[in-house]
Amino acid sequence: MISEEIEKLEKEVWKDFQKIENLYHLEDFRIKYLGKKGKINWYLKQLKDFSLEEKKKLGSILNQIKEELETKLKLKEREILLKEEDKDIGLDLTLPGRIFPLGTLHPITKIIEELCEIFLKLGFEIITGPEIETEYYNFTALNIPDWHPARDMQATFYLKNGALLRTHTSPMQIRAMLERTPPLRIIAPGKVYRCDADIRHSPMFHQLEGLMVDKDVNFSDLKGILIYFAKETFGEIKVRFRPSYFPFTEPSLEMDIECVMCKGRGCKVCGNAGWLEILGAGMVHPEVFKSVNYDINMWQGFAFGLGIERIAMIKYGIDDIRIFFENHLIFLESFK
Ligand code: PHE
């Protein structure tokens, strides 16, 4: 009986369907049952010899199976494709992970952070200020009037409107003292600019300014703090102080450390001196206090300024300042 055969076919179809595991199986299955010469079509063709009633009944059963199979096959196909895709994107857990390139802090940024850390421990507070300054903050308020030869010591970039690129971080002393009332203890790192370029000078470089103002701050406090800073930065190292001159400090000094290359014996790096100059400092000049309206009978203070690149060059044994700003990846990555 044909109706029994069709029943058997239906069972066979679903049993076979369960066995489909990949796209090859799926295609074979489709041809076997749904193809032009496939089993379902074969039975549909046989119906032509049957009565109208049987044609209708068995025909609709066969067509139903066909429709159901078509939708199920589509779903199956998607399921298989998704699984294969997973395999392609490498759900292979034995593969090594992907390594994404990571940047590093610039060596100058690193040194700034290290130096700030040292002074933060001593109770100093970090401030910042503008790189475009006026002559007043950069020179006049720091006891450098316009006739003063010290203006020529710092080859200045002037802007068209009479403003300038700050030649040192010292104008931040003035800004801090005007904004605050003493006692104060600040450091101010930042970029400074001078019209100067060779292996030791860059038209843009970095300084760190320090300022402490209180009722009885004296020269030995300054020396103590500078010695502490040198030891924290370079380890156990010999230092020396030399008298110097800055219009905004009196008395003024410069601090040297023993040459890290030759340990004081004299070499190319220290120009046979055995010593490397690392900073300028001194007691705040009364004229500076006057320009910010601090009572010179009440307040005393010290200030210091150091070149960040200089510290970095000594620490890392670099002899050409320009390398910091040329952005060679090999150089930068060596600070990872
Ligand atoms: N501003 C000085 C310079 O750039 C350094 C300095 C700062 C000296 C503070 C004394 C006190 O050379």
Distance 215 CA to ligand 1 centre (A): 22
Per the domain annotation, does 225 fall within a domain?
Answer: yes
Nearest CA to ligand 1 atom 9: 304
Nearest CA to ligand 1 atom 7: 305
Distance 253 CA to ligand 1 centre (A): 10
Q: Are residues 85 and 117 in the same domain?
A: no
Alpha carbon distance 135, 129 (integer Å): 15
Q: Are residues 206 and 60 in the same domain?
A: no
Q: Are residues 128 and 226 in the same domain?
A: yes
Q: Are residues 53 and 121 in the same domain?
A: no
Tokens of 99: 């390594």
Residue that terminates a domain, selected from 58, 89, 120: 89
Strand order in the sheet with 184-193: 125-126, 184-193, 204-214, 300-307, 275-284, 249-258, 239-246
Residue that terminates a domain, selected from 89, 123, 143: 89
Residue that terminates a domain, selected from 45, 61, 89: 89
Distance 150 CA to ligand 1 centre (A): 12
Whether this prediction's pTM lies above 0.85 is answered by: no
Per the domain annotation, does 102 fall within a domain?
Answer: no
What residues of the chain score a pLDDT lower than 70? 88-91
Per the domain annotation, does 287 fall within a domain?
Answer: yes
Q: Are residues 21 and 75 in the same domain?
A: yes
Helices (H), 89-149: 107-121, 135-138
- Cβ of 171 closer than 6 Å to ligand 1, yes or no, is no
Distance 70 CA to ligand 1 centre (A): 86
Per the domain annotation, does 85 fall within a domain?
Answer: yes
pLDDT at 151: 81
pLDDT at 252: 98
Q: Are residues 150 and 215 in the same domain?
A: yes
Per the domain annotation, does 97 fall within a domain?
Answer: no
Structural domain boundaries, residue 267:
107-333
pLDDT at 89: 67
pLDDT at 81: 86
pLDDT at 268: 81
